[in-house]
Amino acid sequence: MQLSKVAALALIASCPSLLSVSRAAAVSECSISGTLADWGENSTADIDLTSGGSCQFPIKIRGTVSGSDISQKPSHGKLKRLNLSTFEYKAKAKYKGSDTFAIKATGQGPTASGTSVITVHATIK
């Protein structure tokens, strides 16, 4: 069975999420050292990655994330919010050294609720 060009284009156009899913799956989760505090408390985390590399940084505080935003942009890379609880950091190509960024998140957990700032120190090798 052969699809017409119109049918094939209609099929592709109706599934734009397939492209974003394959892109998101290609980026691994950041290897984080440090434990995130509870809601309403600030935290610090450390990540390591290669020059030009990228990883996803999920907010792993117990409970539900109700809001999040970038509170400090990185100087040597790019940070973008993928959804309420996940961000993607990409280190600048050919840069080696350290970078820092911060994420402000609001949520509610089983024992606390509030706004937390997560400061992330990246070591780029």
Find out whether 119 and 42 touch, Cβ atoms under 8 Å: yes
**CA geometry: angle at 120 spanning 34 and 99, to 5°?**
130
pTM (2 d.p.)? 0.77
| Per-residue model confidence as pLDDT tens digits over 42-75 | 999 999 999 999 999 999 999 999 999 999 999 9
Identify which of 64, 48, 59 has the alpha carbon closest to the alpha carbon of residue 81: 59
Tell me whether strands 43-49 and 113-124 are parallel, antiparallel or unpaired. Answer: parallel
Q: What is the reported pLDDT for 2? A: 56
Which one is predicted more confidently, 18 or 41?
41
Fold category of 28-124 in CATH? Immunoglobulin-like (2.60.40)
Kindly provide the residue ranges of all beta strands, DSSP E only, lying in the chain, ordered along the sequence.
Answer: 32-33, 43-49, 54-58, 64-72, 77-83, 86-91, 97-108, 113-124
Edge to edge, the sheet with strand 86-91 lists 54-58, 86-91, 77-83
Provide mean pLDDT across the span 110-125. Answer: 97
The pLDDT score that the predictor gives to residue 21 is: 44
Question: What confidence score (pLDDT) does residue 34 get?
Answer: 83
